[in-house]
Amino acid sequence: VSVIVGADTRLVVQGITGREGEFHTRAAMAYGTKVVAGTRPGKGGQKAIDGRVPIFDTVAEAVSAAGANTSIIFIPAAGAPDAIMEAIDAGIKTIVCITEGIPALDMIPVADAVRAAGARLIGPNCPGATSPGKAKVGIIPASIHKPGHVGVVSRSGTLTYEAVQAMTDAGLGQSTCVGIGGDPIIGTTFLDVLKLFHDDPETEAIVMIGEIGGTAEEEAAAYAAANLRGVPMAAFIAGRTAPPGRRMGHAGAIISGGSGTAADKIAALEAAGVRVADSPTQLPALLRGAGYRG
């Protein structure tokens, strides 16, 4: 049993007929993910992906007729909040929203509805999640993964790939890799994923990839200090040399009195016993230095 996605994942692709939807559905299927349905209002009854995946008009039909239990959303920003709400309404409990550019104010009531429904939303504006060897729900390239026991969680997209590649190159396989997304309002935070990894028997070590702005890394560090002392853990924070003031970050940080700088985040992580790398390629060595023998 893996966290977020795994062998029991039965995926519906919302927006399966679009350019990205189709491309990444093929990649997910090639990886062995069970894609049971796609949706495209107006094309219900047709088939996608060379006749291999049935198309439905609604997510509810994908659930009732094809047994979908997880959704991935490749729908443009204007329609993405509706797509998330539709998935919740159909009873889907794991929703991965790849879409970027959703206005933050649109996501506030959606995030609230996700929580109220007891569902889990990954993203938006995220690369999704892969449990290597089991299921790939997202756009993380398949080739960089290797099955194993390191949980990887990251706030950014392509930097996640960099970290995963570094692990695989060093022979360290992954239990689950999750990109939580970089938008102000996201469904699942570092903290949420760390809790999942903490309870996951498949995950024996953790890599966390953060960046400047906000205070999510500090919150994760506080959790790690209290709950993950025995778990080998390494981190990387992007943006040490970023010019201040050019990215919003301080407004989020005001809430807790933090500054959102890389230096503050690194200090918080190190104080929590988490080793912080200068380059993503150092992450495997830091995990081994923290006692990981995987």
Smallest distance from other proteins to CB 66, Å: 25
Give the number of other CB atoms < 10 A from CB of residue 44: 14
- Residue 69, helix vs strand vs coil: coil
Q: Which residues bind other proteins (CB under 8 A)?
A: 20, 24, 27, 77, 98, 100-105, 107-109, 111-112, 127, 139-141, 143-144, 154-162, 165, 182, 184-186, 189, 209, 211-212, 214-216, 219, 236, 238-243, 245-248, 250-252, 254-257, 259, 278-281
Concatenating the DSSP letter of every residue in 98-127 gives ------HHHHHHHHHHHHHTT-EEE-SSS-
Smallest distance from other proteins to CB 161, Å: 5
Closest to other proteins by CB, 7 vs 251, is 251
Closest to other proteins by CB, 13 vs 63, is 13
Smallest distance from other proteins to CB 175, Å: 20
Verify whether residue 24 is a known catalytic residue: no
Cβ-Cβ contacts under 8 Å for 91 (sequence gap 6 or more): 63
Closest to other proteins by CB, 24 vs 40, is 24
**Of the candidates 121, 98, 96, 118, which has an alpha carbon nearest to the alpha carbon of residue 108?**
121
Rounded-to-integer distance, Cα 220 and Cα 196, Å: 13
Smallest distance from other proteins to CB 255, Å: 6
Residue 16 near residue 22 (C-beta atoms within 8 A): yes
Residue 83 near residue 90 (C-beta atoms within 8 A): no
Rounded-to-integer distance, Cα 112 and Cα 126, Å: 19
Which positions are catalytic? 250
